[in-house]
C-alpha cells in the first residue's frame, strides 16, 4: 500500500516544491522534458511547467493535477504499483520523484532518463520512524539504497540524514546524470 506524504512536511502541505528540487532546477536544459512520478497535487509539475519545461505527470489520481489546468503538463493516470509501466520506452531529460517509494519501479525510473538527463529523487529513509509517518520499512529507503540503483548513472549529489531544525524527518536524496 502506498503512503501519503505526512502532513508534517511543510513544503508538501503548502504546495511548494521541495527545496532540493528547486536547487537542482538550474541544472536542467532549457525546455527540458520532465517526468514527475507520483505527482500528487502537482507542486513539482507546476514548478517545472512555470519555468518553460514540458512535464508528464503520473499519478493514480490526477484530479488535483487536472485542476491546475496547465497545458504543458501531460496527465497520465496510472496505478504505478498495480498496472504495467504506462509510458512504454519513453525517456525524459529529468525524472523527478519526491515522497514516493515503490522498489520494483526503481529500474524503470533509471531507464526513463535520457542520455545526458538527470534523476532527481528525494524521499523518506530509515530513521524516519522516530519522527512519525512513514514508519513502515517498506516505505523507507535503506542507507545507500539510492546509490545502489545508479550503476548506469553518474552521482552528482547524494545525502541521507535528518532534515529540519529541529529535525522533523530523515530523508535520502540523489541527483544523478546518465552519460551522453
Domain of residue 100, CATH code: 3.40.50.150
pTM of the predicted model as reported, rounded to 2 decimal places:
0.90
Tens-place pLDDT, residues 64-79:
999 999 999 999 999 9
Where b means 16+ CB within 10 Å and e means fewer, 36-71 reads: bbbbbbbbbbbbbbeeebebbbbbeebebbeebebe
Contact call for residues 64 and 44 (beta carbons, < 8 A):
no
User: Is 4 inside a domain boundary?
Assistant: no
**Domain count along the chain:** 1
Q: Which residues pair with 33 in a beta bridge?
A: 54
Tens-place pLDDT, residues 138-171:
999 999 999 998 888 999 999 999 999 999 999 9
What residue numbers bound the domain in which 22 lies?
10-178
pLDDT at 99 over 80: yes
User: Is 153 inside a domain boundary?
Assistant: yes
User: Is 131 inside a domain boundary?
Assistant: yes
User: Is 2 inside a domain boundary?
Assistant: no
Distance CA(55)–CA(66), nearest Å, equals: 13
Amino acid at each position: 500500500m502506498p503512503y501519503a506524504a505526512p502532513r508534517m512536511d511543510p513544503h508538501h502541505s503548502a504546495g511548494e516544491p521541495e527545496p532540493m528540487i528547486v536547487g537542482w532546477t538550474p541544472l536542467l536544459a532549457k525546455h527540458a522534458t520532465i517526468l514527475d512520478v507520483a505527482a500528487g497535487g502537482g507542486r513539482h509539475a507546476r514548478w517545472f511547467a512555470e519555468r518553460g519545461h514540458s512535464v508528464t505527470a503520473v499519478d493514480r489520481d490526477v484530479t488535483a493535477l487536472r485542476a491546475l489546468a496547465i497545458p504543458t503538463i501531460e496527465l497520465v493516470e496510472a496505478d504505478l504499483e498495480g498496472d504495467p509501466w504506462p509510458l512504454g520506452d519513453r525517456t525524459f531529460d529529468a525524472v523527478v520523484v519526491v515522497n514516493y517509494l515503490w522498489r520494483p519501479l526503481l529500474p524503470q525510473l533509471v531507464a526513463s532518463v535520457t542520455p545526458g538527463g538527470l534523476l532527481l529523487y528525494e524521499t523518506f529513509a530509515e530513521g524516519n520512524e522516530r519522527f512519525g509517518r512513514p514508519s513502515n520499512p517498506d516505505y523507507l529507503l535503506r542507507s545507500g539504497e539510492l546509490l545502489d540503483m545508479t550503476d548506469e548513472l553518474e552521482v552528482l549529489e547524494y545525502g541521507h540524514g535528518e532534515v529540519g531544525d529541529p529535525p522533523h524527518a530523515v530523508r535520502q536524496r540523489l541527483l544523478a546524470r546518465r552519460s551522453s
